[in-house]
Structure 1
Amino acid sequence: MKVAIIGCTHAGIFSARGILETDPNAEITVFEKNDTVSFLSCGIALWVGDHVSDPEKMFYDSVEAMQHDGIEMKMKHEVTKVDLDDKTITYENLNNNQETTDQFDKIVVTTGSKPVMPPIPGIEGKNIYLCKNWDDAKAIKEASKDAKSAIVIGAGYIGAEIAEQFSVNGIKTTLIDGLDRVLAKNFDQDITDEVELEYQKHDVTLALGQMVKSFESHDGGVTVNTDKGSYEAEIVVLGIGFLPRTDLFTGQVKMIDNGAIIVDKYMQTSVKDVFAAGDSATVFYNPTQQDDYIPLATNAVRQGILVGKNILKPQVAYLGTQSTSAVELYGKAMASSGLNQQLAKSRGIDGIKTVTIEQDYRPDFMLTTTPVRATLVWDEKTRAVLGGSFYSEHDISQTANALSLAIQNKMTIDELALSDFLFQPNFSQPINFLGAVAMAAAKK
């Protein structure tokens, strides 16, 4: 069995290794236009802020290791044409511009995503950086080394983290976003208000609810013009968002409106023997029971594993995703899983209810403790848990994982309220804050 894997970040890595585990005799060829694999791009902001011990450790696999295990790695090879019906791939060796066409039994699309680049005048100018891959990371790290000022476009996770690290390292930072709140799609306003106060304490200029109209690169840096003002800095980092990198497959396979390839629960596309995973594919979003586009490394890893398990025949079904994630800014931890009010509204979901509580994470007789703010979202009719979020100086990240399991398993607020959570004064109150917020929901 000859298998072609197009793209090799998270989904590509786990697809290749999973296929080899399922069929040790498979002839696997990986096509990757870059010269590295498995880069953990979520660590870019941490590296920029000098919180990484060794940047080489931001890679969890290597070309050499994959080749050693019998996977043919065609690095610096760009796929230029694909015929999914005939299973033919045309690719160019970027080292010598030689073009080759080959045929395979099965094709795995793990082409990932690309940064959103709106057609704004000057967006490709000097001193304007993307924040996606290893080359971007090196460029930002080098440019910010001596910079005194920076502008970050986009206040989602990527932009929020980059802006925070710039500010704590003495770079005068401006954070611009078209929405009126930072992390507006990730958390409700009670949390984002707290985050915005932290930015202001660290002298970050928040230019929210503003649309960028143009960029002007000049000797002193870059001027960013919005519909409400102009801002100037030495460097600009774009963190606007991502779209699936699937142009090669347009018209050949079923996609949703943004170009993400629709996959079934076994990672198969609408074309026989063609699979897709990761940022190039849809996910099944459990809170809405609908296909969605949620580019997260966790989704890519699990989908890649499933490609490997199902490459010969459908046997292990996808459990879906809750889009569970977390971020830490200025020593405050934020974590969420499933829907919040903004996400529900943007997806046309009615009939949700929410409740928020705040309690110390462990008993007050301890020498130290700190408050946790917990929010729960549920369906008013079925009482099914649909989402929630947590905010604290305490590490609340694993609570989001527990909530994720509750959503995945279609638990009600009543069941969550009576679930067995530990009590030990070092770690928790007699009623853990996850149980407490569920009790508050059930009572409401």
Structure 2
Amino acid sequence: MKVVIVGGGAGGISTASNLRKMDKNCEIVVLTRDDKVAYSPCAIPYVLSGTIKSFDDIVMRTPEDYKKKDIDIITEVEVTAVDSGKKTVTYESKSKSKTIKYDKLVLATGGNPFVPPMEGVDLEGVYQIRNIDDGIKVQEAIKDAKSAIVTGAGLIGIEIAFALMKQGLNVTLSEMMPQIVPRSLDKDMSDILVKYLEMEGINVVLGKPITKLIGDKKVEKACFDDEELIDADMVILATGVRAELDLARMAGCEIGRWAILVNDRMETSVEDIYAVGDCVESKDLILGFNTISQLGTTAVRESKTLARTICNKKSKFNPVLNSMVSKVGKLEFGAVGYTTSFAQQNRIRPVVQKVEALTRARYYPNAKPMDIKIICDGNGTIIGCQIIAEERVAERIDTMTLAITEGLTCFDLSNMEFAYAPPVSMVTDPLILAVEEVSKKFN
């Protein structure tokens, strides 16, 4: 059996690795346009900030390492054609074009950075950060820059803005929505982040789109809402990614609203063609509709399911909640499930409670404030949670991910047993405080 995988990101490489663990004899070929594989794009902002010393440190393995596992990774090639009838893939390198046969084809094509329709995006000094090479270009540009604008205040945008600020640049973070991280946080929670970013010296501009970039060959200023001008020696476009679907369409795969449609075994509508990662749609756990989950954790989970599918083992990819966590400076923030506004958009009347607690016992040194927000539906079932603190956010988001997955109510959770020690928690865990408070809103 010959398995050809298009894409060398988390989905593609993890599929290859998991497949090799389960099948020692199949032929595995990975085709990727990049020159590096098995690295974490999520770590790029932390290299730019200087927290991680080098881009080399975030590359876990090389193509040669995979060669030892009998996985053939062909780098710096562009796949130009897929023929699902003949079961062939055509790719081009710098010197040649080659067509190869497959028995099973995996599309892990990821996403392309979205370029906003604004004047001046082709000026020098305007960057997108998709891979390590993009990160290196920005790292070099920082040396000669004094000011920067990052447009798009999702996770990557915030992390990059903070990284540039740490390198001494005068940074503006812009978001056309009236709040930052709109998919994961409610505005009252995101306002806590905005206050922290501004305290650290980052100028945050909300609710004003950049209408054009101005400069003579090289970017010099950004124009907001056709009025306000802000200086910028460099501009980072962190406006999200769109699924790369050209090959899927060429192969005849059914496409949904945003990406490739797959079942819970990661099979597309075309026989012997599968898809994983940023280019596929997933099922939402709470309401069951299709959504996108462009997270590394999702891609890795999908790849494990797919490897089992290809090996004819029992497999099923569970629906998603899009749990996330990030850290900027001293502040950690995380979320899982629905925000209040998203629940309302989907005709759920949310019952919401926000509480302030501490990360350790009140009397223990260095206890930090923790803001927690719990969202329930009308029956008390937990459908969302948001947390901001200087420590211990990730493990509590994971706890709430499990609670939502199991369909627990706020009443169920308020009766659960939690571990306690003064250096790591209050005697009544902050999560318990939050669900106890929201429980009071029910008869």
Give the structure-2-normalised TM-score.
0.95
Query: Which secondary structure does the structure 2 equivalent of 1:184 belong to?
Result: coil
Whether 1:281 and 2:243 are equivalent positions in the alignment is no
2:180 is matched with which residue: 168, 179, 182?
Answer: 182
- Partner of 1:46 in structure 2? 46
Q: Once superposed, which parts of structure 1, at least 4 consecutive aligned residues long, lie more than 6 Å away? A: none
Q: 1:231-261 CA distances to partner (integer Å, 9 max, x unpaired)?
A: 2211111100111111222261112222x11
Whether 1:64 and 2:64 are equivalent positions in the alignment is yes
Query: Which secondary structure does the structure 2 equivalent of 1:337 belong to?
Result: strand
Change in 2 beyond 3 A, CA 1:148/1:270: same
- Partner of 1:135 in structure 2? 133
Whether 1:262 and 2:261 are equivalent positions in the alignment is yes
Deviation of 1:430 after TM superposition, in Å, equals: 1.7
- Partner of 2:203 in structure 1? 205
- Counterparts of 1:194-343 in structure 2, within 5 Å, are 194-218=192-216, 221-227=219-225, 228-250=227-249, 252-258=252-258, 260-313=259-312, 315-343=314-342
- Partner of 2:427 in structure 1? 430
Distance, in Å, in 1 between the alignment partners of 2:118 and 2:71 is 41
Please, which moves more after superposition, 247-256 or 262-271?
247-256
Deviation of 1:332 after TM superposition, in Å, equals: 1.4
Q: Is the 8 A contact 2:124 2:217 kept in 1?
A: no
Whether 1:393 and 2:390 are equivalent positions in the alignment is yes
Q: Is the 8 A contact 2:125 2:218 kept in 1?
A: no
Distance, in Å, in 2 between the alignment partners of 1:67 and 1:196 is 46
Distance, in Å, in 2 between the alignment partners of 1:18 and 1:33 is 21
Deviation of 1:371 after TM superposition, in Å, equals: 1.8
- Partner of 1:362 in structure 2? 360
Q: Is the 8 A contact 1:168 1:202 kept in 2?
A: no
Whether 1:440 and 2:432 are equivalent positions in the alignment is no
Q: Is the 8 A contact 2:44 2:55 kept in 1?
A: no
Q: Is the 8 A contact 2:308 2:314 kept in 1?
A: yes
Deviation of 1:392 after TM superposition, in Å, equals: 1.2
Q: Is the 8 A contact 1:265 1:317 kept in 2?
A: yes
User: Which amino acid in 2 is paired with 1:199?
Assistant: L
Query: Which secondary structure does the structure 1 equivalent of 2:404 belong to?
Result: helix
Q: Is the 8 A contact 1:376 1:441 kept in 2?
A: yes
Q: Is the 8 A contact 1:266 1:314 kept in 2?
A: no
Q: 1:282-320 CA distances to partner (integer Å, 9 max, x unpaired)?
A: 122213322211211111111111111111325121122
Whether 1:408 and 2:405 are equivalent positions in the alignment is yes
- Partner of 2:2 in structure 1? 2
- Partner of 2:104 in structure 1? 106
Deviation of 1:64 after TM superposition, in Å, equals: 0.8
Q: 1:145-180 CA distances to partner (integer Å, 9 max, x unpaired)?
A: 231110111111111111112223321111111101
Distance, in Å, in 1 between the alignment partners of 2:342 and 2:52 is 32
Deviation of 1:121 after TM superposition, in Å, equals: 2.2
Q: Is the 8 A contact 1:320 1:408 kept in 2?
A: no
Query: Which secondary structure does the structure 1 equivalent of 2:11 belong to?
Result: helix
- Partner of 2:189 in structure 1? 191
User: Which amino acid in 2 is paired with 1:205?
Assistant: N
User: Which amino acid in 1 is paired with 2:298?
Assistant: N
Deviation of 1:345 after TM superposition, in Å, equals: 4.4
Q: Is the 8 A contact 2:8 2:38 kept in 1?
A: yes
Query: Which secondary structure does the structure 2 equivalent of 1:439 belong to?
Result: helix
Q: Is the 8 A contact 1:356 1:373 kept in 2?
A: yes
- Partner of 2:55 in structure 1? 55
Aligned length: 439
Distance, in Å, in 2 between the alignment partners of 1:349 and 1:59 is 44
Query: Which secondary structure does the structure 1 equivalent of 2:177 belong to?
Result: coil
User: Which amino acid in 2 is paired with 1:14?
Assistant: S
Give the structure-1-normalised TM-score.
0.95
Identity %: 26
Distance, in Å, in 2 between the alignment partners of 1:43 and 1:313 is 35
User: Which amino acid in 2 is paired with 1:438?
Assistant: V
Please, what is the CA RMSD of the aligned residues?
1.7
Structure 1, unmatched stretches of 5+, are none
